[in-house]
Structure 1
Amino acid sequence: MKKNTYNTDGLSAEDRALNTFAELMIEKIRNLQEDWKKPWFSPQVAQLPKNLNGRNYNGMNSIVLMLMQEKNGWQTSRYATFDRIVSLNFTKDKDGNKAAVDENGNKLPRVGINKGEKSTPVMLTTFTCVHKETKEHIKYDDYKQLTQDERNNYNVYPKLQVYNVFNLDQTNLKEARPEMYQKFKDEAVGQSLRTTEGMVDFPALDAMIEKDLYVCPIKPIHGDNAYYSISKDEIVIPEKAQFIDGESFYSNLLHEMSHASGSENRLNRLVSGSTFGSESYAKEELVAELTAALVSSQYGMEKHVKSDSAAYLKSWLDSLKEDPNFIKTSLMDVKRSSSFISQRLDAVAQRLERDGWEADFSDIREKNKAFTPVFGNKAERPTVSNQENQSTQEQTKPQVQHEEVAARSTEQPRFHR
């Protein structure tokens, strides 16, 4: 099949990265068209991508790097820039850089990028915080610790930067540092929730359902449909026993949880009046599918394309072909949605680990029902200067942070499954 290509003459680093993202998604969706029962990410991509310091890449970059790992058959989920790879050849002390040596003082073999390997672009947004009067600069982490009144004294300037990274399988690390490589390879097996019976236990998600710990009620009932109702602000899903296995139950539920994250009083992603089959509906389906696939992969589960979502494969493919920027807005939504869900799951998981099933979850329940864009923080989104460009404005658009009555006088469409 002919590879989709774009004219890259005169394009910025960001635009070239978006073209790469679009081409990867086009290839993935074409493969799913041939067999839509394949998972979004294979078991090989069991763990979310990390840098050498162990920090996870964000949702948008995670998807791109996972697709690259799957496509190339890389055995590790770790990535690094060229400079970071080179830095493995040196150690730092009070006298400056010195060649890396083993425990016996022997110089270690040099680590480098294998000949002919090409990097993968990732995008990172950094923030410059400047006091409106004194022009003093502070770190963004310090800015987030300020009260809302204090934040109002600062202008925040977002800047999107593109970095090029390599998977460790694109280096000679396996030969030069075999123990380090094996450690990362073993790590890439990931955390699997499968059991010998083919079911999975997901305590954090089970607790969310039973103890009403998500931002809206989750109601497992004996039935045929899974959907998020905008008008009732609730998720309805068939009982776990009705699914082929627990993995299918949880991944389908994560799909609906993504829809719920996009309500008007949360991430404000759902388009009012959107009808089944429309362009906006199709895009929301893609966001929910990728969000569920990403969060599922984080916990070692596979996410298959929902049978009714398979009908949107051609629509997604056409949108990607017509406008590579489509992938940017979609993946930014996936980034927010997956973070929205993961942060809440992690909070419940930590409480379960600390206090067990009978733990007091009242504070978690209260925070979720009152809603803040980032769990545990108020007014997380910065006040952004008017000097930023339009694309950045879209990324940092303020969201409504007050609770809203879910039931409305006019019935709105539901995201049926």
Structure 2
Amino acid sequence: MADMKKDYYQEVTNEIIKAIEEGTTPWQQGWDSKVGAAIAAVPINGKTGRPYYKDNLIRLSIVMRRHGNSKDPRFFTFKQAKDMGYSIKKGAKSTLIRMGFYAEKDLEGNELPEDEKHWTNRYYRVFHATDCCQGMTYVKDENGKQVYAPAYDSAGKPVLVESKGKDGKTVMVPKMEPVIKYEPIPEYVPKAEGYTHDDQIELAEAMLKRSGAKIFNDQANQSYYRPSADEIHLPAPEAFPEIADYYATALHELGHWTGHSSRLNRFGMGSVDFGSPTYAKEELRAELASTFLSADLGIPMNTQNHAAYIGSWLKALKEDKTEIFKAANDASKIAKYLENYVRDLMKEKLQSKSAEEVTEKGAAVEPAKSQAPKEKTATNPSKPEEKAVTAEAQTKGTTEEVSKPATKLYVAIHQLGEGHDWHFDSWEEASKTHNAKNPLNFKAYEQKWQEAYEAKGENISSILEHIYTEHNADNRPSGQVMSSLSMSDVVQVNERYFYVDSVGFQELNVKPFKDMELMTPVSNEKIEKTIAADREAIGADKHDAYQKSFNEAYFAGSPVNFSNSGTVEDDYNNFIFNNAQKYSLSSLRSADQAGWEKADEAFLEEVAHKSCEKNGYVDKTDIDRATITLFKLSPRMAVLEGDKQEYTKKLKDNVLASEFCKEHTTTKTAAAVR
């Protein structure tokens, strides 16, 4: 998987560099401002209809252009095509994409602990719809004989093969292949109509107004965002040939506006010099954000003034094969940040459109109701008429009695800081977005209750219900500085934490992470049984030592805590975080000797490849350092029976005996002789 990831980054980067050098900026698409539609369709999964995003959107847009600017946006994996009764045309080329998924089990199907579940990637090869067919027949002439034609390679050049001439000499002749007629797959029909031209302009205008950005129409022929003053300056709308051009330009600058320290806080905002590499990278992010907004909403794109940055973009892409992925990730955050301002309006537009479609078919429907966010009320974090917290059923198993509380009960209401807009129905849903890779950063409003619950020994359900009522009242504690209690908040009662979801409270465990918190549901019965079995099998002391060692490596290697200092220790921790799921490793199963041997040996192999990239040969000193690191950090050491040095030496010898190391250590010796 590591090699595939490495190849993927370079493969995509090379393809984008090639497209730019050919004069086609791959994330741009034509816009017809009079019709109000993007000329190019957005790539989608042909089976599910879901659109591709980020780097997949950019890459697959290139593929569509190379298929004659195809308006068919569908892409299929080989299996998806087969499931739908399609075949792949002979000679068709696939495209490698990556898809994120939430790893809840290891590859053997064992459930992972809650705090080890994480987002990771899988890689797939997909074919464009024009590479698929419903069947094929061999073309024959009027005499019923097979028709042949010259074969061509991917560059369009004739393929030549050796043949014996009449004089017996070998000559090169065109390769002939049977002519095949393909039956096309059904024509693409969009499942749903998108936003109208008027809708798109309304969404763009609402996005500008609801953002609260300071926008001045005081320029004659230029537009810019000034970070020091946090202001956007534009010409008047009348100065643009089409109103869509005005909004395209305004939203481009609003993309820069999101980088302010009070919003998405992108590196360099506030001190970016015009023409600098950092400035060009920021422009790249704004352009990609325009692409994503256009893909999601049909909002016009700003594609002006990019020529000045192309040289800088090419330089950045050639120097760092991951730059386009970093830019796409930042651009995605920009687009989602801006879309949050009009999320309710987006839903309203689509619901109105659905109602119109039903009406056209003869069914009587009521007008769509606005989905604007409702005020948080004392009875409901999510829907006013549904959310009264009632007794023990609401606490999902948290009804056990609490020992008589202290005279002063400590309560804290943890709410997300400014700039967050999330309302998940349950912790399970929320944790798929905010996990060990992206932990929650809550602001706490603390209270010490002077009178409530004094020596009453009430159960936790009653305590939570009382807190819920008190913190939704108009005279609630800290009412001037905090919102009312709502879905997605976390309530702390002394040392216990409860997530507020759409049906009540979910108790959580909390692990501090710098100035953040990792919050996970209280362990379930199945995991508790797994832990108990492991402790019985190897002994409680060894299990605890293993779990401590694993957690230290795993969480130190997560992006939140990864220092990336270049040390072998950091590299190992990051390797464990990225590959634990691949090798079915977790803090629950200490006895998996085979899994750890594979993982630790794979780490040494990775070190060997990096050493070769750096030096031109495998430096055995690098392997020695990595072997010492295994001895110090590998969780396997906590439960290993026998000689631990023998374990690491065996792995080291295996790697040095590999064909790769033999070949690339020989290169060094030969170079030294010369």
TM-score after normalising by structure 1: 0.66
The residue identity in structure 2 corresponding to 1:59 is: K
Q: What aligned pairs does 1:216-235 form with structure 2 within 5 A after superposition?
A: 216-217=212-213, 219=215, 221-224=217-220, 225-235=222-232
Structure number with bigger Rg: 2
CA RMSD of aligned residues (A): 4.1
2:102 matched to which residue of 1? 127
Are the counterparts in 2 of residues 217 and 234 from structure 1 also a CA contact under 8 Å? yes
1:206 matched to which residue of 2? 205
The residue identity in structure 1 corresponding to 2:204 is: L
Shift of residue 304 of structure 1? Answer: 5.0
2:419 matched to which residue of 1? 371
Ranges in structure 1 where 5+ consecutive residues have no aligned partner: 1-9, 90-110, 139-152, 395-417
Cα distance in 2 between the residues matched to 1:375 and 1:174: 47
Percent pairwise identity: 22
The residue identity in structure 1 corresponding to 2:205 is: D
The residue identity in structure 1 corresponding to 2:101 is: T
**In the alignment, does 2:155 pair up with 1:159?**
no
Go from structure 1 to structure 2 and tell me whether the alpha carbon gap of 1:39 and 1:55 turns closer, same or farther (over 3 Å shift): closer
Aligned partner of 2:28 among 35, 40, 43: 40
The residue identity in structure 2 corresponding to 1:261 is: T
Are the counterparts in 1 of residues 41 and 71 from structure 2 also a CA contact under 8 Å? no
2:44 matched to which residue of 1? 50
1:96 matched to which residue of 2? none
Are the counterparts in 2 of residues 218 and 237 from structure 1 also a CA contact under 8 Å? no
Shift of residue 129 of structure 1? Answer: 4.7
SS in 2 for 1:47: coil
Are the counterparts in 2 of residues 14 and 161 from structure 1 also a CA contact under 8 Å? no
Are the counterparts in 1 of residues 555 and 561 from structure 2 also a CA contact under 8 Å? no
Aligned partner of 1:84 among 80, 87, 94: 80
Cα distance in 2 between the residues matched to 1:388 and 1:24: 31
Cα distance in 2 between the residues matched to 1:126 and 1:294: 20
Are the counterparts in 1 of residues 201 and 299 from structure 2 also a CA contact under 8 Å? no
Ranges in structure 2 where 5+ consecutive residues have no aligned partner: 32-37, 137-181, 353-366, 376-414, 425-429, 438-553, 564-674
**In the alignment, does 2:160 pair up with 1:112?**
no
Tell me the matched-pair count. Answer: 330
Cα distance in 1 between the residues matched to 2:102 and 2:55: 18
Q: What aligned pairs does 1:12-411 form with structure 2 within 5 A after superposition?
A: 12-32=3-23, 40-42=28-30, 46-51=40-45, 52-73=47-68, 74-89=70-85, 111-129=86-104, 137=112, 154-173=115-134, 181-182=186-187, 184=188, 186-187=189-190, 191=194, 202-209=201-208, 212-214=209-211, 216-217=212-213, 219=215, 221-224=217-220, 225-272=222-269, 273-300=271-298, 303-307=301-305, 309-351=306-348, 370-372=418-420, 375-376=422-423, 380-384=433-437, 386=555, 388=557
SS in 2 for 1:12: helix
CA distances 1:233-270 after superposition (whole Å, capped 9, x unpaired): 44333332211212222222221222223333333324
Are the counterparts in 1 of residues 218 and 235 from structure 2 also a CA contact under 8 Å? yes
CA distances 1:38-87 after superposition (whole Å, capped 9, x unpaired): 98124685332211211122222112111221232233111121111111
Cα distance in 2 between the residues matched to 1:279 and 1:231: 19
Shift of residue 166 of structure 1? Answer: 1.2
Shift of residue 376 of structure 1? Answer: 4.0
Cα distance in 2 between the residues matched to 1:161 and 1:219: 42
Cα distance in 1 between the residues matched to 2:417 and 2:248: 23
TM-score after normalising by structure 2: 0.43
Shift of residue 30 of structure 1? Answer: 2.4
Are the counterparts in 1 of residues 217 and 235 from structure 2 also a CA contact under 8 Å? yes
Q: Greater relative contact order: 1 or 2 (C-alpha under 8 angstroms, separation 6 or more)?
A: 1
Are the counterparts in 2 of residues 320 and 326 from structure 1 also a CA contact under 8 Å? yes
Cα distance in 2 between the residues matched to 1:217 and 1:357: 30
